Structure 1
Amino acid sequence: MRELTVAEQRYVAVMAVIADGLSISQVAEKSGVSRQTLHAWLARYEAAGLEGLVDRSHRPVSCPHQMPAAVEAALLELRRSRPYWGPRRLVFELKKRRVSPVPSESAAYRALVRAGMIDPSVRDRRSRKWKRWERGAPMELWQMDIVGGFPLADGSCAKALTGVDDHSRMCVSAKLMTRERTRAVCDGLRAALATYGAPEQLLTDNGKVFTGRFHHPPVEVLFDAICREHGIEHLLTQPRSPTTTGKIERFHRSLRAEFLSGHAPFANLKAAQQALDEWVDYYNNARPHQSLDMATPAQRFAARPAPSPVSGAGG
């Protein structure tokens, strides 16, 4: 494994000051340069951005296959702004931004490892024995669940009814509530149906806000009733089988990493809902999705049949 390029070293040092908040003296000592040199790098970065950190020496390039320093610097800056993006998504975004030449995924991975942004010893520990499956078209199946962890200024935490379309990963519901109550959950379902129409099937866990089939005796709760009245087959997961709802769980991982992680408490539920709506719009319409060959959920969802009108659901 080769050492960091000059541009990489400068970029890491500059970001340690700008993004990590370390002092000039600390970073200069760690980088083995004078304070004056580090000040010069900071000035060059401020004046010319990433290009200012590139060594403009006229010496021959030592390796014709080495990623250009400016491209590598662009890759590292993008990764710093999107720390949850992997090499594939980073390369896709560089291509969209017309960075040239576009590095390969393997070259991007090696650059991230050299810069300490990926730990090569860490492997994805999710089991590979589970075969990925998805429905053949939008609106065949939605997955829905409840997720918490939305901090409010009064010290409480809100929850959300979330829903994704199985085929497209389109987020069809992200409705916040202060408590996990039947009425609030079903209001979220009604809103999703009013916006997108009724899917053929809807998959949830066995929570009491979703179903009463396991009560003694079984009862029809409001969520079940809304599904029945709109011709939706309500499917339930098998107990202790989280992989059944893998797509909604993956959505929750993205939500936590990209939206909730490090977020200050929201002023109130309305402010939290507004911020969440903005993130969902980005997730659906702008964020490339690796399992969709870097398309957005909205692009894949666009192939859905025209939604049928949905009247007021379930009283």
Structure 2
Amino acid sequence: MAHANAVLTPRARLRLARLVVEDGWPVARAAERFQVSWPTANRWARRYREHGPAGMLDRSSRPRRCPRATPAPVVRKIVHLRWKQRLGPVAIAARVAVAPSTAHQVLRRCRINRLAHLDRATGEPVRRYEHPAPGDLLHVDVKKLGNIPDHGGWRFVGRAQGKRNRAATPDKPRNRQHNPQMGTAYVHTVLDDHSRVAYAEIHDDETAATATAVLRRAVAWFAIRGIATHRVLSDNGSAYRSHLWRDTCAELGITPKKTRPYRPQTNGKIERFHRTLAHEWAFRRLYTSESQRRKALPGWIHEYNHHRPHTATGRHPPITRLTNLSGQYT
């Protein structure tokens, strides 16, 4: 590609070629006029005769034949060792009998030179997707968290004090060892695929009735913000395989989708959201009771949607991807 101050940009080449071909200028005179050599002026005039204005663009410098290129079977073996065994260029070169620089060039050409580009479970290249508009796909899932005893859990007060706090928490059932059962908090989360705007509720179970009720409220919450839901993606949990879930989706006009079994990466956006939720809300500070932590969730969700920069949205809050909110441009 020609730089900004080049003598012969594509437009200047076209002017030079037209002077020679259409106006009948001698090649030497046109070359002197544009301060280039005679072979250069003659080359652009020839290309104009053969290809017209399209011939004034730069051509690829890639050779037509590469007789010393790495054979395709060797490339496939290098890629296979990278995917399945996650070996580096030196180890791959020793097994395939090529130079480490050759193995590295193959890995870079195939865009698998960095392990961050590969899936941890399968070793295959990470396939990322994003639906073009809000509401095209909602991700749903449940995050399970142990309830916090009064005066704090073991993560902040230590295991010994945590056990004493559990024992002192009133109105809790006991297990066979007579230890109090704190129970589980089920955080039902709904995440928009395009904007990353999130909706969450905490319940004491993950039954189909609870999951469908959360879906109804989430769809209404997104509708207030101008998002019409078309599809919903869930894992293969019992609540999402139930007839009630199927009938609720049909009533709401939503197409239910399921992830591949034992493949949480398919629903990776909400899995990553759960990691952020756990780090920045659930275990961020000392909560002296479970009710205190639950009261903090709506405020954190608002912070996440409206103020927290998100790398997937250009370091802007997720709500900025919704372009039809009332009062957004006032």
CA distance in 2, matches of 1:273, 1:223: 26
Shift of 1:131: 2.2
1:203 and 2:233 matched: yes
Q: Work out which of the residue numbers 171, 175, 189 in structure 1 matches 2:201.
A: 175
Shift of 1:195: 1.3
CA distance in 2, matches of 1:257, 1:276: 13
Aligned residue identity for 2:137: L
Aligned residue identity for 2:203: M
1:152 and 2:174 matched: no
CA distance in 1, matches of 2:116, 2:130: 21
Shift of 1:175: 0.8
Q: 1:152-199: per-residue Cα shift (whole Å, max 9, x none)?
A: 33533301111100001110x211011222222222112112211341
Partner of 2:262: 240
Aligned residue identity for 1:163: V
Aligned residue identity for 2:138: W
CA distance in 1, matches of 2:325, 2:231: 15
Larger RCO of the pair (alpha carbons < 8 Å, separation 6+):
1
CA distance in 1, matches of 2:289, 2:249: 34
Q: Work out which of the residue numbers 300, 304, 307 in structure 2 matches 1:283.
A: 304
Partner of 1:162: 189
Q: Structure 1 residues 150, 298: closer, same or farther in 2, change over 3 A?
A: farther
SS for the counterpart of 1:281 is helix
Partner of 1:227: 249
Shift of 1:129: 1.3
1:138 and 2:134 matched: yes
Q: Structure 1 residues 187, 289: closer, same or farther in 2, change over 3 A?
A: same
Shift of 1:148: 0.9
CA distance in 2, matches of 1:304, 1:130: 32
Q: Work out which of the residue numbers 210, 221, 224 in structure 2 matches 1:184.
A: 210
Q: Structure 1 residues 266, 239: closer, same or farther in 2, change over 3 A?
A: farther
Shift of 1:273: 3.2
Q: Does the aligned pair in 2 maintain the 1:150–1:265 contact within 8 Å?
A: no
Q: Does the aligned pair in 2 maintain the 1:141–1:200 contact within 8 Å?
A: yes
Aligned residue identity for 1:274: K
Q: TM-score, normalization: structure 2?
A: 0.48
Stretches of structure 2 that go unaligned for 5 or more consecutive residues are: 1-114, 150-168, 170-181
**Share of identical aligned residues, percent?**
31
Partner of 2:280: 258
Shift of 1:130: 0.8
Shift of 1:262: 4.8
How many residues were matched structurally?
173
CA distance in 1, matches of 2:132, 2:324: 11
Aligned residue identity for 1:201: R
Q: TM-score, normalization: structure 1?
A: 0.51
CA RMSD of aligned residues (A): 2.3
Q: Structure 1 residues 304, 150: closer, same or farther in 2, change over 3 A?
A: farther
Greater Rg over alpha carbons, structure: 2
